[in-house]
Amino acid sequence: MDISTLSLVRTIDALRTLRNDWQNQGYRVALVPTMGNLHEGHFTLVKAAKALADKVIVSIFVNPLQFGQNEDFDHYPRTLEQDVRALAILGVDAVFAPEAEALYPNRVTKSDEEASTSAVVPPVKLTSILCGKKRNGHFTGVATVVTKLFNLVQPHDALFGQKDYQQVTIIKQLVEDLNLPVNIIVCATARAEDGLALSSRNQYLTQKERIIAPRLYQTLLSMKDILQENPMNIDAVTKQAKATLLASGFDSVEYIDVRHPINLSSLTSVDEAGGVILVAAVLGKTRLIDNLVVEGKRLA
């Protein structure tokens, strides 16, 4: 497809003009929010969006609010031209790629403590656990930018990957709490042939680390098998899984836990509601996350 058939939208005014035109024509609109540096996981979301809606818009924005002081905001890969060409081939109708100043006009720099910006603060019970323990403010940044995108694009559907399970849980809660008129679609985690969850950060892995990395998913599969046979064995299973990952070559395991699949509350056993195994582990300089749902055994 010729790239000229895709609208590259850089300003809020241009986005509103485009969105009003789509609304006047009665189109169903789907949004795929991204930070760019797109890979097959993103393209899976785009393909699902095209099956749902008349018009698909992909946002590309490296959101400064969701990066901590020692995280890779400045070095996060920015590949807009490459991304736009790939999305044009897939038949995406528009890409919204604003500058930070457009979304955060009162925030001068990433580290500016004086310049304030309104923020959307999700429930602490969802943001203080798992990834939130070491990424202070991360999910407030996510919630703020997603709310802005929903307000600007006004999509009927928004598509996210299951790999970011905690993030998706928070966004679902956000939509419910703020009565936002958008349907959240969660697509299965896209994986490489060896099971590694696709992520922009996989490119940071060395050749040796890339061989080790699939052990993360393999460990989750083993945990799932054990928990489906013995739902009461969460503590022992997580301890063994952590030891397995460290023995496999991971440098550290930030967390490995089994939580309620809807509200992420702690579980003592995988009951009839099931559970979700969530993990974050560091391999070399790369932090990898993954998850796997454990189906519950419904009571007769």
Chain-centroid distance of CA 82 in Å reads: 21
CB under 8 Å to 25, separation ≥6 — which residues? none
State the burial class of residue 75 (Cβ atoms within 10 Å of its Cβ: 0-12, 13-18, 19+): exposed
Q: Which of 42, 138, 156, 260 is catalytic?
A: 42
What's the rounded Cα separation, in Å, for the pair 65 and 23?
Answer: 30
Between vectors from CA 277 to CA 273 and to CA 280, what angle results, nearest 5°?
155
75 counts as catalytic: no
What's the rounded Cα separation, in Å, for the pair 53 and 32?
Answer: 12
Q: Are 290 and 201 within 8 A, CB to CB?
A: no
The DSSP symbol for 165 reads: H
* Placement of tokens 């609109």 in the chain: 29
Q: E strand or H helix at 96, and its extent?
A: strand 94-96
Q: Are 278 and 255 within 8 A, CB to CB?
A: yes
Active-site residue list: 42
